[in-house]
Amino acid sequence: MTVKTQIADGPGDTIFALSTASGRAGVAVMRLSGPQARSVAASLTDDRPLAARKAVLRTLRHKGERIDEALVLLFPAPHSFTGETVVELQCHGSQAVIEAVSTALLQHGLRQARPGEFTRRAVENGRMDMTEAEGLIDLIDAQTDGQRRQALRQMDGRLKGLYEDWRSGLLDALAQVEGEIDFADEGDVPDALSHAARPHLDRVIVGMEAALIQADRGRAVRTGIEIAIIGAPNAGKSTLLNQIVGRDVAITSPHAGTTRDIVEAHMVIAGLPVTFSDTAGLRDTTDAIEAEGVRRARARAEQAHLRILLQREPAIDTHLQDGDIVLKNVEGPVKKNEINALTGNGLDDLMDRLTMIVSTRFTGTESASLTRARHVDCARRALTATQSARTHLGVAPELVSEDIRAALRAIDELAGRADIEEVFDRIFSQFCVGK
């Protein structure tokens, strides 16, 4: 699918949907978009003219029957959210009113919008790119301040600015390479003109590599930070989890091997969603069920962003990575890097440490981030092609040209400008109806 170049109203159906949450409410917003939006709105309001971008109070009628009193707003194409003519009907929020308005719109030939169809039309009409649309859905789904801030940065075009800078560098490099290919026999064109492309390729590669390094941070903010509590059996892991979240979410027992499966608990730290995982005690065992629990514990520890190793006695554990936390579970007073999991003594120090780690690793930056697996895949393919182009410099300019074009195609896919109908369907299906 290609992006439409014509933004104003043209042939096509007109859609409508409830843009506010369903259920009893003071106000319900019904949104219309498409070539018939203005005329249908006029027919519902006694054909009285509507001024652009001005809220007016109108009586909604259908077949002579009064439906409701509503505020009506007109946004003519192309200056609207979707790029088409859009009308919003701000009605009273009862189910009876919503059904009556919907029935009237259906009988005027409008179609119920599919999930995300308004935003999809905005992308297709060039009002936003795919990454900005993904920022919008992330903003709708945001549950913490950190997620909200990151989504707003993406909606504002920070990621778009990042990949457009890559595109610009690649086009500059391509111009140099094409000059050697097209004018190789010209006396005023250097034989090694493609070497002038190297600084542009170097700059793009550095930028892509930096973005990919930071990708885990962006995805963690969006989906949540995983912290695994690991250690030997009876180290006090379940007790510590209960202390951290302030309630009994895990079963505790003096018997070793009580925890067989992973127990999760959620909270917010430094404005970001965090999931703590209590895992089975790490040890060799012949019990098949406990062994499966140990396997799952090791797998969760491996994939977590941070691990807390809790132990009764100092021990070496191969599951730790740089920056992980090691705590000794003690009875009575605690010292540095110690905690009394039973009483909670030392918990404040642990939470302060976790807050600092989360703030340092995952917040405090206004730079753009690759927040989805799709972003990372496109950027990696673009990086691989750009690195290949640099390798072929001075050897085969035709291969350099093809490599650069492959990198540009990957960036087009990131932006949503490529032929990726299946990707569009998958992304916009995540939206609620009416957005």
Q: What's the CA gap between 83 and 124, in Å, rounded?
A: 9
Q: Annotation-wise, does 54 bind a ligand?
A: no
Determine contact, residues 159/369, Cβ cutoff 8 Å. Answer: yes
Q: Annotation-wise, does 412 bind a ligand?
A: no
Q: Annotation-wise, does 281 bind a ligand?
A: yes
Q: What's the CA gap between 141 and 297, in Å, rounded?
A: 29
Determine contact, residues 183/192, Cβ cutoff 8 Å. Answer: no
Neighbour order of strands in the sheet with 306-311: 263-269, 272-278, 225-230, 306-311, 325-329, 338-339
Q: Annotation-wise, does 131 bind a ligand?
A: no
Q: Annotation-wise, does 239 bind a ligand?
A: yes
Q: Annotation-wise, does 279 bind a ligand?
A: yes
Q: Annotation-wise, does 10 bind a ligand?
A: no
Q: Annotation-wise, does 336 bind a ligand?
A: no
Q: Annotation-wise, does 77 bind a ligand?
A: no
Q: What's the CA gap between 224 and 218, in Å, rounded?
A: 10
* Closest by Cα among 200, 134, 122, 86 to 368: 134
Q: Annotation-wise, does 178 bind a ligand?
A: no
Task: Tell how strand 86-93 and strand 25-33 pair up.
Answer: antiparallel
Q: Give the amino acid at 368.
A: A
Q: Annotation-wise, does 238 bind a ligand?
A: yes
Place of tokens 């003109």: 193
Peptide bond into 254 cis (omega under 30): no
Buried b (16+ CB within 10 A) or exposed e, 211-241: bbeebebbbbbbebbbbbbbbbbbbbbbbbb
Q: Where are the alpha helices (DSSP H) in 108-254?
A: 117-124, 130-141, 145-155, 158-182, 198-213, 215-223, 237-245
Q: Annotation-wise, does 144 bind a ligand?
A: no
Q: Annotation-wise, does 253 bind a ligand?
A: yes
Rg of the chain over Cα atoms, rounded to whole angstroms, equals: 29
Q: Annotation-wise, does 31 bind a ligand?
A: yes
- Burial grade of 177 (CB within 10 A; 0-12, 13-18, 19 or more): buried
Place of tokens 């410099």: 393
Q: Annotation-wise, does 280 bind a ligand?
A: yes
* Closest by Cα among 119, 15, 122 to 435: 119
Q: Annotation-wise, does 52 bind a ligand?
A: no
Q: Annotation-wise, does 255 bind a ligand?
A: yes
Place of tokens 């009193």: 69
Buried b (16+ CB within 10 A) or exposed e, 19-44: bbeeeeeeebbbbbbbbbbbebbbeb
Q: Annotation-wise, does 254 bind a ligand?
A: yes
Q: Annotation-wise, does 275 bind a ligand?
A: no
- Binding site members for Mg(2+): 238, 259
- Binding site members: 31, 88, 127, 234-239, 253-259, 278-281, 435
- Binding site members for GTP: 234-239, 253-259, 278-281
- Binding site members for (6S)-5-formyl-5,6,7,8-tetrahydrofolate: 31, 88, 127, 435
